Structure 1
Amino acid sequence: MAASRSRRRAAAASMVGSVVEYYDFTLFGLAAALVFGDQFFPETSSTAGTLASLATFAVGFGARPIGGVVFSHVGDRLGRKPMMVMTLVLMGVATAGIGLLPSYRTIGLAAPVLLVTLRLLQGFGAGAEYVGALVVAAEAGDRRRRGLLTALPGTGVFLGILVATVVFAGVSALPDEQFDSWGWRVPFLLSLAAVLVGLYFRSRVEETPVFEEAVADRAPEGLPIVEVVRRQPRMLLLAMAANGPFVAISYLIQVFVLSYVTKELDMGDAMGLTANVTASALAIVATPLFGALSDRVGRRPVWLGGAAFLAVFAFPMFWLIDTEIPVLVVTAVVLGLAVGISSMYAAQASLLAEMFEARFRLSGIALSRESTSALIGGPAPLVASALLNWSDGASWPIALLVLLFALVSFLAVLAVPETRGADLGGEKAAVPGEPSSVDG
């Protein structure tokens, strides 16, 4: 009974933290696409303002690898629980601070400087948030249901996206004058309430027995981040190659498509927001189902299926969007996010947790996810906007970009051994050529 209660608490704490993280990051992405150009870069043209605000969105990813290294070191040395509390507080405070920033018209150049600073702090805190959530869910849960349990943080990701989009859509319905002066700030300030809820759940979580066993047996001899590079370089490189393109596609659909539909196709804010809300709502249901499927058929088939779908769907997705028919635009975003991305998200969590040894699991996942997110994922909407400008508004270069990203991720996961059922508490989690570490 006590073990079951501890697992439920760990699952809830993991999911709530992911909700907060992606509520914060989605808000910034929405505001970067629709608001920040006017609020913080008004002296530029409309196109330049959009590019500047999307560049600010990308800047946050530059801080994520640093935050990931720092906080994953805490998690691998001191424990998963203190790390999860620290990242949650930092993200929430930085997000609320954005809601209090004066605009460029009020304080001039200091406004975008402060915006970038808070974005960096937000990214620094987010660097190990999702990583910590999935590791706790994996290490505290039942091995037979690990795919489902580790998919819950991914479900929290889409729930955070949904809540952020709904709240932002609600305030965007205000008259333009009220929205521009104070309405857009309200969703950012609400982040503090979400942090308090997250802290309640995380304060009740116990340290995972896998971490305690691993440290008691043999603590990392050096820096965990150095140890994972030295001991599991192949797994690290494959995880990077699989994750970076996946994150890029995710942000192209969530952020770039919103800007594309709103500004390039001139369909209005409501159209893009409606598509994101619908897709996120369906992804909340789809993600745990894909996670459960990975418990039955394996992690690789689920991820490979999602990547193959996105490769095939890349051009049709933009053909549907370019029709400017609302139901087809929504359909395109739903299929891209709730089928392609959510299936990969679900398989990613358990696969990454099972690829790395317990003593530096957090460091391995954080390095593989956050470095590639910074180099590939964060800049993707900015690159797509530049390609759109280069092609005089044609969407085919962005579709080609999605196709290439999907193929790279597919090939990387194809080279990873199946990890379903791996023992997370032993000396090794999933090492090629050692099937004894994998159960079933």
Structure 2
Amino acid sequence: MGQSRHLSAHQIEKRRTRRVAYATIIGTTIEWYDFFIYASAAGLIFNKLFFAPAGPTFATILAFASVGISFLFRPLGAFLAGHFGDRIGRRAMLVVTLVAMGLATALIGLLPTYDSIGILAPILLISLRIIQGISAGGEWGGAVLMAVEHAPTEKRGLFGAFPQVGVPLGLLLASAVFALMSGVISPGDAFVEWGWRVPFLLSIALLFLGHWIRRSVDESPIFEEIKARKLGTKAPVVQLFKNHTLLVLLAAIVFAGNSALGYMTTGGFIQNYTTDPNGLLKMERTPILVAVTISAFTWMIFTWFAGYISDKIGRKKIYLIGWAIQFIGVFALFPLVNMGTWSSVLAALMILSVGIGLTYGAQSAFYAELFPASVRFSGVSISYAIGAIIGGAFAPMIAAWLIASTGSTESVAIYLAIMTGLGLTATLLLRDRTGIPLGPDHEAEQNISPIYGIKSKYQDQDPVQVSVSELA
């Protein structure tokens, strides 16, 4: 009888963790599908539909700038979601961010173009993109903490990879839908006239699915414990910057080194560079979208693998392997792309995707283990948002500007190599804290500095003798 009850409890726990995994993957996929279809459209047609009066080159730069401007508002979303996520819960903020992203995306699909309403068209487009940025800034931290804080200690990397996998899945879905619209359903002029709107309008159906799934998931057990014992911090963002400013900056630079390369495809640069009718290669749009879709699948597989293997060898080791492969990807990117064949572009993107995946898969668990429980949502969200600005926000625009200024892709490779080097350096400065206790009873252990060469005020104390109230 006791064994039966044990099996029943085990089955209940297994079902609960499986539901969390599905919810974080599906919810994050929908959220980032919404985010990436904008970037794909910006690289392919928004320069013509919303910014054409600026002229071909500057219109492309403006289109990429509209991709990047949303990143400037990610910290606002991270501050808001971090504050309320550390105070009222992870799940509630995930529902709010999903609804905001979905509505903004659908409205973009209904926008008139510049030919219809003039300057008001790009103003409305950028306004909706800003809402997407605020939503994305709050999304990631909540999703990864729901996954990692529900996970068994020995499977944090694997569980943390679930929401990470949702990002390349979102790119894969966005690229696949655009390829379908561009190559099959609305080829040629029909795609420019109305076909591009369909991926945005599909967001309405995905919004209802994601909302239903996320509401079915239990709150993070660590947050529930903090709430039940009244151990929360009234101003988590203030406490975060009071005690962990350097940690936030280093964690941000880690992500910046990854996102600068990631947004070469997700930000639409490669799509625009290879298909621009005024450019060097003048390749067909649909095959490039197919290549991006395949590379997104590669990114997804290696993201999952990195999360899984980080539970075996530690977060830091898999990061260092990823940075090494990312360097290879940086210097192979343009020599392969400039060959101008579909297979060479695909090879370049797949090499890049391996390095990006390996430096992305362990990020959820790595970040969660850096920050103490009372400010964890704020810490991971704000670090991620700042890193996105430093690395990914304007990477496509910077790359387009560098090529326009120098007439060469070598300058872009140097820029990406510098960003990769910064990410590698920040990783080396951080300790590997794989398996550190995450609950509120171990807040003091979590506060012992994760940065080499920095000594916290708790370093010489017995961690169990330092109370949470003293830290708050």
Q: Please report the TM-score for the alignment, with normalisation by the length of structure 1.
A: 0.95
Q: Which moved more, 1:183-192 or 1:303-312?
A: 303-312
* Partner residue, 1:355: 370
The answer to whether the Cα contact below 8 Å between 2:261 and 2:416 also exists between their aligned partners in 1 is yes
Which residue of 237, 243, 257 maps to 1:225?
237
Q: Over residues 1-40 of structure 1, what are the superposed CA-to-partner deviations in whole Å (9 max), with x where a residue is unaligned?
A: 3322221121111111210121011101110001111111
Look at both structures and tell me which one has the larger radius of gyration over its CA atoms: 2
Contact preservation (8 Å) 1:311, 1:404: no
- Distance in 2, matches of 1:276 and 1:397, equals 23
Number of the residue aligned with 2:426: 412
Q: State the match for 1:53 in structure 2.
A: 63
Q: 1:395 aligns with which of 400, 409, 425?
A: 409
Q: Which runs of 5+ in 2 are unaligned?
A: 1-10, 450-454, 464-472
1:243 positional shift:
1.3
Q: Which moved more, 1:82-91 or 1:212-221?
A: 212-221
1:374 Cα shift? 2.3
Indicate yes or no: 2:264 matched with 1:248.
no
Per-residue CA distance 1:392-421 (angstroms, 9 max, x = gap)? 2x1101111111111110110111111111
Residues of 2 paired with 1:245 and 1:283: CA distance? 16
Cα distance in 2 for partners of 1:170, 1:330 equals: 18
TM-score normalised per structure 2: 0.89
Task: State how far apart, in whole Å, the 1-side matches of 2:240 and 2:366 are.
Answer: 16
Does the CA contact (< 8 Å) of 1:151 and 1:346 recur in 2?
Answer: yes
Contact 2:253 2:390 in 1 (8 A): no
Residues 1:159 and 2:159 aligned together: no
Mapped to 1, the partners of 2:400 and 2:189 lie a distance apart of 28
CA–CA separation in structure 1 for the residues paired with 2:136 and 2:358: 22
1:182 aligns with 2:198: no
Render the CA deviation track for 1:351-397: whole Å, top value 9, x for unaligned.
001111111111001111102312431111101100010112x1101
CA contact (8 A) 1:32 1:54 kept: yes
Instruction: Indicate conservation of the 8 Å contact 2:275/2:285, yes or no.
Output: yes
Deviation at 1:152, TM superposition (A): 0.9
The RMSD of aligned alpha carbons is 1.7
Amino acid aligned to 2:437: D
Q: How does 1:320-339 map to 2 (within 5 A)?
A: 320-337=336-353, 339=354
Structure-2 separation of matches of 1:292 and 1:221? 32
2-structure distance, mates of 1:137, 1:430: 22
Q: Distance in 2 between matches of 1:292 and 1:211?
A: 24
Which of residues 258, 269, 274 is equivalent to 2:285?
269
Aligned counterpart in structure 1 of residue 313 of structure 2, from 297, 300, 304: 297
**Cα separation, 2, equivalents of 1:408 and 1:360:** 25
Residue 218 of structure 1 deviates from its aligned partner by 4.8
Deviation at 1:151, TM superposition (A): 0.4
Distance 2:192 2:75 in 1: 33
CA distance in structure 1 between the aligned counterparts of 2:382 and 2:321, rounded to whole angstroms: 25
State the number of aligned residues. Answer: 435
Unaligned runs of 5+ in 1: none
Per the alignment, residue 145 of structure 2 pairs with: 135
Q: Which amino acid aligns with 2:400?
A: S
